[in-house]
Chains A and B, each alone.
Chain A
Amino acid sequence: MKSLKLFILACAALLSGIQVNAFCGFYVARADAKLFNNKSEVILVRNGDKTTVTMSNDFQGDVKDFAMVVPVPTVLKENDIKVVDKSIFEKLNEYSAPRLVEYYDSPPCPVEIVTEDYEVSVMLDQNWPTSANLTMSVADEFNYRVNVEARYEVGEYEILILSAEESDGLRRWLTDHDYKIPENADEVLDPYIKSNMKFFVVKVNLHKLSGSAFEELSPIQLTYNSDRFMLPIRLGMANAKGPQDMIVYTFTNQGRVECTNYRTVELPSNRNIPLFVEPQFGDFYKALYEKSWKQEGRNSVFLEYAWDVSPQQSVKCDPCVGPPPIANDLVKAGVDWLKNGWQGTAYFTRMHVRYERDKFPQDLQFQTTTNKERYQCRYILTHPASGDMSCEEGQKYLKELEQRRKRELDELAALTGWGVKNGNSYIKEFNNRLEDYEFSPVMTQEEDRGGIWTLLLSFLGISTLIMVIARAGKKRKLQSLPA
């Protein structure tokens, strides 16, 4: 009866307007230029102790104002730093974004079926920002107790690796060198300095840029060996207003990556939703994410995609909404363990975290697991059959369809908190009149999942059960005793 044709609409919901901001480090600006810490995306590749981090650079503004500070665990060598093409982020995002799948019911009464398979993938543009320059002034580092460990020029960037002895000196050094540091950054800098972290400081070398002041900046890729498998998000919170979103794409040679100090939660997936959601799939996913985020106490990391993308694997997605990464993409991302360029395991995990200071007191720490289970955020539309419904099967089908549509509306409300003003007409009417439906967010208050009640009730329930069993046992014993 179902799924004759498959129509896939991939929607980069995340890029369609969810407020996203800074990442591991903080952006700092020269002068008083306005800062926009927009969307952040990170690729993390982990093999043993070796980590390759690629940070997408989504600075929006005049690039001469761009500067960034990221804590790193070691002093990086020049060939450990690269700039990579930003297309890798686009490709990974496109491939792993939450997806909407459409199915078509086949007509219940016998008719001639015209089948046509087609696949459409819609990606929203990423707005990458722009160009300009900074010149480095070499000052007396001594007074600041800041040591310039290394100085490199990579791509369009001028890079310094600093080590510091105390946060005040580092803050003064950065300020005196025209970096605008968020006011409360010192107290965050201190723990990193004392944990023996170095500071990767980046500016743009304007001479290396050809175009306008609003040119796109390349993602920066760093490779280092360290036991620490983490992302320092605390620094990025220093100049953030409100929660920030980050997408983390990871590759390992074993299996899924999960967070060790926050819960890693799978978002609800494979749910049937009403047809009229299609044009607003981006908003739908945003609402779904927001609801789950609140429901999980605003302090969880969400899994959006997990799949074995090893080059020799035949099924890399089901269904595919974007081209799966090929061996060359994996290498670009930092996967360096593939033999002969294509043999070996590459497991891909996409996580989405929305973090803010009071819910995320610690940096994100990760571990690699051997979990190779596939996961994707997938939502399903089912189009009704059309044509003659006069036969017995057809009448039965129409009744079932009504029930199904009721369930779809309930599901929509459960996933997003959306109510539909004229939902009844959707239940009753089978025409796919998308523009007729209006959403109204009906659920605004935070929902608690009532964990403590589950615990207390289970405790009471199980202990009562034990008591009943024990009493029954006793009675039996007494009865079996000779009078």
Chain B
Amino acid sequence: MSTSILSLVKKHPILKDPRLFQITALSSFLAYGIFNLDWITDLPRIFTILSAGLIAQLFFMAGLKLPFGSWKSGAITSLGLCLLFQSSTPLMWILAPVLGISSKYFIRTKGKHLFNPANLGVILPIVLFGDAWISPGQWGSSAMLLFFFSSAALMVLFRVGRIDTSLTFLLTILVLEYFRSVVYLGWEFDWLFHKMSNGSLLLFAFFMITDPRTTPNASGARILWAVGIGVLSFVLTSWFYLHTAPMWALFFAAPAMVILDKIFKANVFQWTSIKPLQS
């Protein structure tokens, strides 16, 4: 019995395709939002973002004759936007995923996307139309923290890939905040814990900057890149009081990926090159 369950788990498609794992995790957060954070009233926004994102993805799939499996990438971008992007204008709910997904095909460099599509989908409406925002405080609670960390462990287990980026980024923030806020300023440890357990920060760390198509190819380059984003976020938060700093830091760090890829040579990531876990 137990062996059959184990073999069933081993054969589970989300272990074969990390994108399915991501879709499962992000959908769970969305369910958490709807049932526990009262996003019921947000259902029109969520529905519009998801449909617009998937339609945009299908459009590009048809136009560019992309493999069918690429719907997953569009779904991940749209789910990410549902979790992070806020606007009271329905037009923005359509524009954010459309802009984000279009950027994957229009702004490219050496077979990779220059900008993280979900990140760009959030930033562009804010910059261009000023009619959108990010709510960094919308998560909260330590149950989330627990879950995020278990997701992280799962990610390592199931080789989604860029766990080095997540951990480096979080560690950078943790160390810098520890020295500034706890050692220098004199806030207590729970101040730091509150900061590090922010749901939006963890969501960003585990599900946005880990996108293999917008992170540097070489492992060393990724570490440097994640440290850079961490430092920039820290500076923007501590001195410019920008509470949504990581999103902006990732946006500004996009060109750095190109430079890092030039210095550190490594193979370009391909989703299809991931081998199933059990062989």
Contacts and interface: CB of A to CB of B under 8 A. Distances in A.
B194 A362 contact: yes
Interface in A438-479: 449-452, 454-456, 458-459, 462-463, 466-467, 470
A373 interface: yes
A371 interface: yes
Contacts of A261: 136-137, 194-195, 198, 243
Contacts of B87: 370
Contact of B137 (A255, A260, A451): A260
A195 interface: yes
A462 B22 CA distance: 11
Contact of B36 (A229, A262, A454): A454
A260 B194 CA distance: 12
Contact of B187 (A361, A454, A455, A456): A361
Contacts of A259: 137
B24 A452 contact: no
A156 interface: no
Interface stretch (B142-150, B208-216, B269-277): B142-150
**Majority SS at the chain A contact face:** mixed
Contacts of B14: 463, 466-467
A262 B133 contact: no
B141 A297 contact: yes
Interface stretch (B26-34, B110-118, B160-168): B26-34
A263 B187 CA distance: 21
A313 to B, nearest CB: 16
Given A258-B137, A260-B136, A455 B28 contact: yes
Interface string A222-266: 000001111000000000000000000000000100111111111
A368 B56 CA distance: 31
A299 interface: yes
A255 B88 contact: yes
Contact of B193 (A194, A263, A300, A361): A361
Contacts of A462: 23-24, 27-28, 31
In this complex, which of B25, B36, B131, B146 has the most chain A Cβ atoms within 10 angstroms of its Cβ?
B36
A299 B199 CA distance: 14
Interface in A194-232: 194-195, 227-230
A432 interface: no
A367 B195 contact: no
Nearest to A371: B88
Nearest to B15: A463
A195 B185 contact: yes
Contacts of A262: 137, 140
A64 B135 CA distance: 44
A187 interface: yes
Contacts of A362: 187, 191, 194-195
Contact of A451 (B24, B36, B138, B185): B36
A467 B13 CA distance: 6
Given A260-B137, A463-B12, A191 B187 contact: yes
A299 B191 contact: no
A449 B185 CA distance: 35
Contacts of A386: none
Interface string A176-191: 0000000000010011
Interface of A: 187, 190-191, 194-195, 227-230, 255, 258-266, 297, 299-300, 358, 361-362, 365, 367, 369-373, 449-452, 454-456, 458-459, 462-463, 466-467, 470
Q: Give the 3 A-B residue pairs with the shortest CB-CB distance, closest first.
A: A458-B31, A260-B243, A458-B28
Given A194-B185, A451-B32, 9 more contacts: A191-B187, A264-B135, A449-B36, A451-B141, A455-B31, A456-B28, A458-B27, A463-B24, A467-B13
Interface of B: 8, 12-14, 20, 23-25, 27-29, 31-32, 35-38, 86-88, 130-133, 135-141, 143-144, 146-147, 181, 184-188, 190-191, 193-195, 198, 240-241, 243-244
21 contacts: A187-B186, A227-B240, A263-B139, A263-B140, A265-B38, A297-B140, A299-B140, A300-B140, A370-B88, A370-B130, A370-B133, A371-B133, A449-B36, A451-B32, A454-B31, A454-B32, A455-B32, A459-B24, A463-B24, A466-B24, A467-B12
